[in-house]
Amino acid sequence: AGIRQQPKDMPEEINRVLVDHISAQLFCCSDLAARNLAREGITNGVTVPGDVMYDLYLKMRHRFTPEETRTRFGLEKDAYIVATIHRDFNTDDPHALAAILDGLNCANKESDLEILLPLHPRTRKRIAEFDLENSLQHLRVVDPIGYLDLMSLTQHCAAVVTDSGGYQKEAYYAGKRAVVLMPDTGWRELVETGWNLLCGTDAEQIAHTITTALEATCHPENLFGEGNAGECILEALLA
């Protein structure tokens, strides 16, 4: 509850607001989400147990195999960036998609890091439709990968580039900075602390922002709880 993202007329944003305003109990991932609710006059029934995605990350962490997985993909530790692109506003606009691919190529050239791009079916289809296959020549394109492989690869990558709402948080859990290819994010905590970086669809800006993301900075701790959100929610529901 309490997650807010621009633009306000997005269907999922409208649904978030409506559901929050008719709910008796509201479980927030963070203090910022609770403050969002308070600004809308919602204070009763609000608790901040943390993020259940962090619960899952910690529970599954023993199954991550970063060394084996990156070796299987032919990658060196800290020598690659993981990129995911699937949002319609990035893939359905030929100019935006071309700029993103150009930005990734520029980052590859400037940083000498490999760009691993697990290609979403929507993105692959649009690349072919817009005749952008040549833009993939210097990227490590692979088929979509599952959660365990993605999390394993994230452990040893240098940074993440994504338009995924969930993956930008998972990158934070893994201690990796993310360049977020979205006009806004529901996870403002990660941007306001300077950990994650919002970026538009200008190729030069993307390459520059990736360079910034490779710089060391202090990792903000416990933005989304202690990893026991599910237990806290269950206790509240049974109380």
**Mean pLDDT of the chain, nearest integer:** 96
Confidence of residue 12 (pLDDT cuts 50, 70, 90): confident
pLDDT score recorded for residue 235? 95
Residue range 43-73, pLDDT digits in tens:
999 999 999 999 999 999 999 999 999 999 9
Tell if the pTM clears 0.85, that is, is over it.
Answer: yes
- In this prediction, what percent of the chain has a pLDDT beyond 90? 95
Q: Specify the CATH number for the domain of residue 128.
A: 3.40.50.2000
- The tally of domains found in the chain comes to 2
Would residue 100 count as lying in a domain? yes
Q: Which of 224, 229, 206 is closest to 31 using CA atoms? A: 224
Domain that holds residue 19: 11-48
One domain, residues 64 and 25: no
pLDDT score recorded for residue 239? 85
One domain, residues 108 and 164: yes
Would residue 205 count as lying in a domain? yes
pLDDT score recorded for residue 13? 87
Give dist(CA 155, CA 78) in Å, integer.
9
With contact defined as beta carbons under 8 Å apart, do 116 and 83 qualify?
A: yes
One domain, residues 135 and 188: yes
One domain, residues 30 and 131: no
Q: Which residues lie below 8 Å from residue 222, measured CB to CB, with a gap of 6+?
A: none
Would residue 139 count as lying in a domain? yes
Where in the sequence numbering do the catalytic residues fall?
A: 86
With contact defined as beta carbons under 8 Å apart, do 101 and 181 qualify?
A: no
One domain, residues 114 and 75: yes
Q: SS3 for 219?
A: coil
